[in-house]
């Protein structure tokens, strides 16, 4: 099966599974929540810290796609149906460092209402630029410090272990100062929007394009994300090139999205 998921370190692989868009109403008005963040991480944490088999059952029944992606593609522990895979999965996370990270992630992200609001605002703006855009399912998970955002067939998985803060002590052992600066709560939504948009607005004829054209396309998506979030989260020379192009030609974000540069 051909699979696609995109991770923060710019590695791209493919995933193809079915997922369901979940909508709900909230607040006193009629505003619609486009995205409800799924707390897969809580079941995962329960199983990995206590060995609670009922939590594992819920993971497999309620989140089969997320569990398969985590075990097979993120952790690469084997096939989800392999004999003994559950014990292998549990044992993998008994590492002291990972146990500390699980606890820290659940503490820092006990409440994610701010992230939910930011995501909904960003996708509402994106839908105004592109009315037919597909709204993904978004879920939280705890990985193993190697991947931040997993984008699959109309879903976004956020690995909380990669967003514990610039000054989180354990990060010093694995990441550069520049990398740590982006491993913060405020970078979750920009990363999600960037990688999701990169997956649904790929560069046409990518294989035959020059590296310059590829970098410019990435800069275009980054510029649009900055526009959606009203903040310059991404700043590269290619983002600056796109910005100059937009200003010179008096383009809106919508026009840029439809423009092949």
Is the pLDDT assigned to residue 12 strictly greater than 70? no
Q: What is the pLDDT of residues 77-92, one digit of tens each?
A: 999 999 999 999 999 9
Mean pLDDT calculated for residue range 181-208: 95
Is the pLDDT assigned to residue 97 strictly greater than 50? yes
pLDDT of residue 259: 79
Single pTM value for the model: 0.85
- What are the residue ranges spanned by the domains of the chain? 4-199, 207-258
| C-alpha triplet 146, 150, 154: angle, nearest 5° | 175
Q: What is the pLDDT of residues 165-177, one digit of tens each?
A: 999 999 999 999 9
Work out the pLDDT band at 33, boundaries 50, 70, 90. confident
pLDDT of residue 5: 43
Q: Mean pLDDT for the chain?
A: 88
Is the pLDDT assigned to residue 261 strictly greater than 70? no
| Cα distance between residue 192 and residue 119, in whole Å | 8
Q: Give the number of other Cβ atoms within 10 Å of residue 10's Cβ.
A: 9
Tokens representing 215 are: 């970098």
């Amino acid at each position: 099966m051909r699979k696609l998921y995109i991770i923060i370190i710019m590695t791209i692989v493919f995933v193809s599974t079915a997922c369901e868009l979940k909508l709900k109403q909230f607040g006193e008005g009629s505003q619609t929540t486009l995205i409800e963040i799924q707390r897969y991480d809580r079941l995962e944490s329960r199983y990995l810290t206590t060995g609670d088999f009922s939590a594992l059952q819920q993971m497999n029944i309620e989140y089969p796609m997320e569990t398969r992606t985590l075990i097979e593609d993120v952790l690469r522990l084997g096939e989800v149906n392999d004999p003994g895979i559950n014990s292998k999965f549990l044992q993998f996370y008994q590492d002291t460092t990972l146990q500390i990270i699980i606890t820290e992630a659940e503490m820092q992200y006990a409440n994610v209402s701010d992230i939910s609001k930011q995501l909904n605002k960003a996708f509402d703006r994106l839908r105004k630029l592109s009315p037919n855009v597909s709204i993904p399912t978004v879920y939280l998970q705890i990985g193993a410090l190697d991947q931040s955002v997993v984008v699959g067939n109309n879903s976004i998985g956020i690995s909380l272990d990669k967003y514990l803060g610039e000054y989180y002590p354990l990060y010093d052992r694995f990441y550069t100062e520049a990398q740590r600066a982006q491993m913060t709560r405020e970078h979750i939504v920009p990363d999600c929007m960037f990688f999701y948009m990169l997956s649904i607005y790929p560069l046409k004829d990518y294989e035959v394009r020059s590296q310059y054209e590829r970098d410019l396309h990435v800069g275009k998506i980054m510029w649009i994300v900055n526009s959606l979030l009203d903040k310059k989260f991404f700043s590269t020379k290619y983002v600056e090139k796109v910005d100059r192009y937009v200003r010179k030609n008096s383009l809106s974000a919508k026009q840029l999205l439809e423009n092949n540069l």
